[in-house]
Each structure stands twice: as C-alpha cells, then as structure tokens.
A and B are shown apart, each in its own frame.
Chain A
C-alpha cells in the first residue's frame, strides 16, 4: 500500500496535491460534526463522480453509524466514511485462472479507455509471474490497432496473433485459440475494438467472439474484463450494464487513475451492477497496472 502511494506521489507532483489538500482541510479544519460537514463530504463524493444517489446513500449510512457509535470527532468520521466505502467496494478480487485448459481473457470497452495499453501491461505482469502469454489482435477496425498491440508484444517479448485490417475479429480469436492450444500457452489475452455500448450490432459482434471462445475452450473465457476510464462520469454505469448484457463482464479494470479523476463511479457500479474492480491503471509504464485494493481506493478518495 505504501508503495502505491509513494508511486502516485512521484507521478503526480504539485497539482494533484492541490486537490488533495482541499479535501484534507474538511476533516481537520472542522471542529465538530454538523450539517456543514456532511454537506462538504457530499461535495467531495459528488466531485469524485460517485453519483448523487450513491452519495446520498453513503451519507445516510454515515449518519446512522455516527449515531450508533456516538462519534463526535470529525477525524474519526473520516475513518468511518472510508470504512463504509471499503465495505461497499467488497473484497479484493484477483484474476481467475483456468485449472487445466489455457486461460482466456476477453478485454472489452468503449473507445479510448486504454484496452490495448492495458493488455500490454497485463501481458508483462503475467509473464513476470512465470506464465507464457499470447495476444490476439481483435481490434481489426481502428487504423493501426494491430500494430500498436504488436509493439506492446515486442516490448515484453510476447507473441501476437493478427490478421489484416477489417478481418472478422471472431476469426482472429479462433486463430489465437488454436495457437494457444497447440503451443501450450498459459494465458491468451484477446483485444477487441473499442465500441460504444449503445451500438447493438457491435455488441453482437462481441457476443460472437465470446461464443467462439466457449466453443474452443469450454471453461473459458475465464475473465471478461471491461476496461473503464476513470475520468468517465455516470455513463460508466450504463456501460457496465450493457457490456454485461452482451458478454457477462466478470471484472473491471479502472484506468487512468494517475490523473485528477478519482473514478468514484465504481461505487455507483457496485450498487447497481455488482461487477468487481480487479485492476487499476496508474500510468503508461509497463508495470503501472496494479491489483485493486478497496481500502486503498477509499483512502485515495479522501487522501
């Protein structure tokens, strides 16, 4: 935990600190717990994209426990709040691996959230755990997406299965599935083109890819990971719901947490869709992908 914070601090410099100090001031500056303090907390949560309804719920829970536990010190209130949020986020939820067959992960998300970059980082991290990894360049739509994945593959010395631009992504997935089986590879990461969740046909294309996986590796896919940009607002909830409908998302990867966005919408997601956050992205380096730790995330909201 300390490691992550020092790393974040390194990266963020002065500006973020400016944001953080404001929040800190709420707890230390206030002498007692009153309506103003609750209102300020409400503001912090809303400005972190937690969403109005979820925020009101959290504040309500907080009021209740303040009453029950007879808390009067604003500093203790802060800890109580973090606890509530940690609770809402659930347990730590590591990636799932296959027992016998090769492990297959399908990576999905809207445009520009960082799917390809995340796959590059994930490949590296799996490899450093001693696993053999193969990548499938399923984004056959965006110009040069396959090239982008290939460069990531080269960086960590991982093979990439690709076809030409405009090819059927399900066919790319099929090729890659055959390759992992014949080459005895541990983990296959399938990249897909970014797509807005309200485009029905594109979502159907994803279901098709998933069906191919299910046919070729019956226990798979072992994870369907939705990559979510931490700067996204309340629309993220809609994204989760519709991707879940199409391909049964099993986990979320929250990217771009190294900016000033807090990604608070994942709290709303836990309330409405119950998809666990598994990993977070905190930079562009190869090892900037970390497991999601609820406690840490709660701390970062009120750092």
Chain B
C-alpha cells in the first residue's frame, strides 16, 4: 500500500504510519490520536443528541422545542446549557462520602467512553479489533452499576439510595437477557469481534433472529435506563434517583454518560443486528460490492440514528413500569424465553451449518417466529387465567393472594403453599 491508496481509501492511520515510518513513538502516538478522536467525537455528539431528542420529542408532542439560542432551530441550546452547568459551583453535600460522591461522575463517563474502543465505524475505522469485543462491551457496561451505587450511596440521601437500589436491581438483572440474546448473533457469526459479526451478516441478523433483536433492544432500554425502564432516576417517584444530590457539571457528567451509552447501545444494535457499516442492498444486487470508509460511516450513522430515533419515540410514548413488574418481566418472561431461543438457535445452526444462506435464514426466521408465537400465547393464557380468577372471585389475584395466605412478608407466600399444601388458586 502506498500513500495515495491509503489516502484515497481514507485509511488515515495507515497513512500516518507510512508517513512516519516505524519509529518506536509512532504506535503510541497513533493510539493517542484514535483515543482523542473517538472520545472527543462522543462528547461532542452528545450536544447534538440532546438537541435532537428535545426537538423530536417536541414534534411528537405538538410543540416547537428549542428555538432561541443559535438561530431558528435552537442548535446552540445545548451548548448554552453546558456552559451554564460549567459555571456552577462544584458542591459536595455535608455528610456525603467525599470519595464515592466525587468519583462516581468521572467513572461513569469513563466507562461510557471506554465502550467505544471496539466499535467499528467503518470497515477500517475502529479503535481495537478485539476478538472478544462483545464480551468486552458487556463487562465494561456492567461497571456502570458500580458507579450508580457509588453515587447513590455516597450522596447520603434517601432518594439517591432508593435510586441506587433500583439501579442495581435493574442493571444486574437485565444484563442476563442481554448476554443471552447476544449469544445468538455470536453463534450465527461464529465470532465475538464486532468486525467479524458485521462481516458475517450477508443479511442483517435482525431478519434472521428478530426475537433476539427485540430482546436485546428491550434489555438495552433497561441497561441505559430509558423509558419505560427509567426507574433508577424516576423523576416523579424518587425525584432524580441516584443523582439527586449532584449539581453543576457533576450532574452534567451523568447526563453525558447516559446519552453516550444510549448512542452506544443504538450503534451496537446497528452493528450486531443491522449489519453495521455494510450496505446490504448494494451487496445483494452486486456480489463484488464492498463498502468504502466514507460510505461505511454514513451507513453506520444512518442505521444508528434510526435505532436512536426509536429510543426517543419510545420515551415519548410509554409510561414507566414498576420495579416488581420490571423484575417479573425480566426473570419470568425474558430470561426463560431467551434461554429457549439460544438453545433452539444453537441446535438449528448446527443442523443447517453447511447449507446456504437462504436455508439458514428461513430456518432461523421460522424458528424465531414459532418461539415468539408460543411465548405470546403463554403470556396471553396467563392473562386470561388471571382474568378468569377475577371474574370468579370478584377480586384480583394479586389482591387475593395475601388475603388467602396471610399477609406478613410477600416473599413467604411461595413457600406457604408449598409447605402447607394450601390450594393455591390458579397461580403458577
């Protein structure tokens, strides 16, 4: 490869490498350049994301949204907001744990930024092509639980503590269906590297395994703490949750981290389930088609923002779920059915491993549809059973259960009817 090819194909790091030779300082400097580029990009795009979210939600809610600062469309509104946050005094409340309180906002932004290291923006534009990228992303994203706990505990505030409890319960439990649903594309691609997964998608995996995509999307909503899973900072219940005691840029850090990780989750969805930087239509009609760097990054961001738009859309539409319902939904519905899905996909992919893409696609798609129908059927039957109970006894099962089984401590109820053999009325 010579300088011109590198420049023409926009392989900028290779270009610098060729330019500077192989002196010992080159690689560290190049690493530093990538790190600074990616993290600056992430920090700057948040300004745009906040503006976008406010504008899109405003449109959905029949209002105008930001329209003063920075021209007719309020483009500089977020810049002004950030400047305001920066000028605020950095306060540590009396009684707060100084280390935990001040460490949390920095740590959470760091973890949010670290995840971007493995994200392929374009065929050759990637921080590190780790062969365990998915694993890396999952492990880094679970560090944010620690940050939230630090913030909630260190604030010495009851709302913050409640928020931290909720955050831990939610993030830890939704990691399970997320990991399980990510196993499916890993099985299909036979790779954990994000480039490997992108390259394996002749058709986007969202078409092969839509159930896995949906489950991943729901878990991503919960992992980033967005509506309907925004319990950890439920404004109307626990005021602001874990960051209630934070002000100024320390609060801004949490805000920043939330938007960075939301964008990361949408780009992860775009990469794993929608083919990332690959232009599927072009490849279908022209077998020799390969995506260049410029086209790749465009396609990558179009897909990412489509996914991100759905995040915003959901936020504008849905009410918030309650903590017990959230955990029930996770452990009693998502996790079992994701396990079934992983099992079926693993077996099926073994069977059709040698067949062409058409057979594989059809096999996986049909198995997915069957699993989805069975799962929904079960859910519907359960709902019907509950309704039947209500019609028969005139009172809802959830209300009736404590009445029948005695009412101290809800955790004991399951044991109660197991040990005493009391007839449990039509319940699982």
Partners in one complex: no
Where the two chains meet, the residues of A that have a C-beta atom closer than 8 Å to any C-beta of B are none
